[in-house]
Structure 1
Amino acid sequence: MEQKSHMDAFGAAALIAFALHLAFNQIVIKFTNGGFGPVFAAGLRSAGAVIVLLIWMRLRGVSFRVPRNAVPAGVFTGCLFGLEFMCLFSALDFTTVSRASVIFYSMPVWLAVASHFLNPSDRLSGLRSVGLLMAMAGVALALLDRSDTTASLWGDILALTSAFCWAGIVLCVKITPLSKVPPAQQLLFQLIISAPLLLLAAVFFGDFIRDLRPIHIAGLLFQIIAIASLGFLAWFWLMSIYPASSVASFSFLSPVFAVILGWLLLDETVSLKVWIALSLVAGGIYLINRRPRFA
């Protein structure tokens, strides 16, 4: 499909579906944690996704070679990827999907702050600054809300750390030689580095196996195939077709869908403060990613 200069109906529908897909994955992670230790599950997911991605690259004739000058950045993003999902899987073990999602999907906020100082072409101004303040206020409100007895501050902090790591990966891809590397190789770096790190770290983070049942294995397979390998490739594919700012502007939908799904499927209690925090974060992300029409 040829590159487009604007978002069309197909792109909008695909991005809405993908945002819902990512939100549902938060439910799947929390459920899968009932059968696997969180860090062990994250390691198995990366290891399984490496196999799926290698098969896909082989069938499509995608090269495995990466420029030597991009290797250090690739290793660094792989380490960040491992830390990101160690924190996210653990966060969903401690706190609710709704709280973790509001905080985790604040990633564009921290990316915007870092880019402002490290990337001269991506300065904050006007509505983007307003959006930044809105989203930061929403995250602060979510962190300060202790009305839900099933949530924990430790889980919230882990979700926030995960968001920081995600922002670090995106920024590293933007400002290092890794920006010249095709998406499949970028993803391969992240998976192949994170898999052994997570599996080794799992030794220090509780049980490998909990009350394991076939449905937990199905949940892990869903994450391996539909998210960590082919799902991320679909995201990169959409990024290659539509303007990056248009694609990014749909990211505000993921925390909205995640909170709604946590409420509907897991019967989570979502306090008024969390709904307000969600509105602030989602609105802030939209403004941060919005670009002036005639810029």
Structure 2
Amino acid sequence: MNTRQPVDARAAALMCGLCALWGLQQVAIKVAAPDMAPLLQLSIRSGLAAILVWGLILWRGEARGFDRATLGPGIVVGLLFAVEFLFVGEGLRYTSASRMVIFLYCAPIFTAIGLHLCVPGERLSLLQWGGILTAFVGVVVAFYGPAGNAPASADQRLGDAFGLLGAIAWAATTVTVRATRLAAAPASQTLLYQLLGAFGLLLVVAWASGQTDFQLSRTTVLSLAFQTLLIAFMSYLAWFWLLRHYLASRLGVLSFLTPLFGVIFGVWLLDETLEPAFVTGALLVMAGIVVVSGHDLFRQHLASRRPGNL
């Protein structure tokens, strides 16, 4: 029986905290990039977090939960997770953290479409399709808008495109989790599959592309600690717990806060500039996310205010 429920106050508060962390994630990677390539950062943090998650699994006695029924989907989500951060790591070499977070967090839009096609009970309404169209218009405006007084460079557009591809991979991961036996598996088990996939694939790609040189500076150590403990371990465990207890498309109503935090942190900590076209596109994307993911919440709120409802 599907016991997932609409977002309540507890889920909303947790999502706000996760959005702040995820918004800072791209900045942390970008800050440490001069001393360690983003791909190598993402691989190392995934490997360290996998060790922590495995320890948690042993402590909880969940190791017996691994079986053939989850192995296939686990391998799939591990590869998808690795591909997502492959695009993030490579994209951050070409575009700003602010732009990356906007394009990456188009994922709720792609997730809603995937769930509409694959999961009964998460069908999209006509209004939600309008929100998806709004978000896609925002993507086009942000992608093709000029950078200041000049057209966007080819490198920037490449980085932006990688962000979008990362969003699609993230959405595919969420849909796979919801549509397979992983939906009933412990969050720690699902996360371990993903972290192992990211660690292995990203390390191979970093080595093959000559991105394994690094300088172990204070900035690098602090960035890796933040990414490992708060992002790859704690925040992802919380995210998968939310996916098990709440409707995935409804959680996205608050995900628009992540790009907002990301842009704020990018401008504040990295002195990144914001072009009018990008700001316009970003606002359209966030508005589309709110419409798509918050449709049911708005409908329930209006229904509760009708005469005769107590």
Q: Distance in 1 between matches of 2:289 and 2:89?
A: 23
Q: Distance in 2 between matches of 1:235 and 1:210?
A: 31
Please say if residues 137 and 284 of structure 2, whose CA atoms lie closer than 8 Å, have aligned partners that are also in contact: yes
Matched, 1:215 2:219: yes
Cα distance, 1:21–1:180 mapped onto 2, change above 3 Å: same
Please state whether the residue corresponding to 1:247 is helix, strand or coil: helix
Larger Rg: 2
Please say if residues 7 and 246 of structure 1, whose CA atoms lie closer than 8 Å, have aligned partners that are also in contact: no
**1:1-295 residue pairs with structure 2 within 5 A?**
7-8=8-9, 10-147=10-147, 152-240=156-244, 244-290=248-294, 291=296, 292-293=299-300, 294=303
What amino acid sits opposite 2:102 in the alignment? Answer: V
Shift of 1:100: 0.8
Q: Which moved more, 1:109-118 or 1:284-293?
A: 109-118
Shift of 1:131: 0.8
Q: Which moved more, 1:179-188 or 1:201-210?
A: 201-210
Q: Distance in 1 between matches of 2:228 and 2:116?
A: 34
Q: Cα deviations across residues 31-54 of structure 1 (Å, max 9, x unaligned)?
A: 122211222221111111111111
Shift of 1:194: 2.2
What amino acid sits opposite 1:259 in the alignment? Answer: V
Please say if residues 6 and 250 of structure 2, whose CA atoms lie closer than 8 Å, have aligned partners that are also in contact: no
Please state whether the residue corresponding to 1:152 is helix, strand or coil: helix
Cα distance, 1:242–1:74 mapped onto 2, change above 3 Å: closer
Please say if residues 45 and 227 of structure 2, whose CA atoms lie closer than 8 Å, have aligned partners that are also in contact: yes
Shift of 1:245: 5.0
Please state whether the residue corresponding to 1:121 is helix, strand or coil: coil
Please say if residues 146 and 277 of structure 2, whose CA atoms lie closer than 8 Å, have aligned partners that are also in contact: no
Q: Distance in 1 between matches of 2:255 and 2:207?
A: 34
Gaps of 5+ in 2: 305-310
Q: Distance in 1 between matches of 2:219 and 2:197?
A: 28
Q: Distance in 2 between matches of 1:49 and 1:170?
A: 20
Q: Distance in 1 between matches of 2:114 and 2:7?
A: 27
Shift of 1:70: 2.0
Please state whether the residue corresponding to 1:94 is helix, strand or coil: coil
What amino acid sits opposite 1:42 in the alignment? Answer: L
Q: Distance in 2 between matches of 1:4 and 1:42?
A: 33
Shift of 1:204: 2.2
Please state whether the residue corresponding to 2:103 is helix, strand or coil: helix
Gaps of 5+ in 1: none
Please state whether the residue corresponding to 1:122 is helix, strand or coil: coil
What amino acid sits opposite 1:162 in the alignment? Answer: G
Q: Distance in 2 between matches of 1:186 and 1:202?
A: 24
Q: Distance in 2 between matches of 1:257 and 1:197?
A: 29
Please state whether the residue corresponding to 1:127 is helix, strand or coil: helix
Cα distance, 1:21–1:117 mapped onto 2, change above 3 Å: same
Equivalent in the alignment of 2:307: none
Q: Cα deviations across residues 236-284 of structure 1 (Å, max 9, x unaligned)?
A: 3344555545533111110111111111111111011111111111111
Q: Distance in 2 between matches of 1:109 and 1:242?
A: 17
Please say if residues 7 and 243 of structure 1, whose CA atoms lie closer than 8 Å, have aligned partners that are also in contact: no
Please say if residues 34 and 216 of structure 1, whose CA atoms lie closer than 8 Å, have aligned partners that are also in contact: no
Q: Distance in 1 between matches of 2:23 and 2:258?
A: 5
Q: Distance in 1 between matches of 2:53 and 2:243?
A: 18
RMSD of aligned residue pairs (Cα, Å):
2.2
Q: Which moved more, 1:51-60 or 1:86-95?
A: 51-60
Q: Distance in 2 between matches of 1:240 and 1:85?
A: 23
Q: Which moved more, 1:24-33 or 1:65-74?
A: 65-74
> What is the TM-score normalised by the length of structure 2?
0.87
Q: Distance in 2 between matches of 1:11 and 1:80?
A: 25
How many residues are aligned here?
A: 292
Shift of 1:205: 2.4
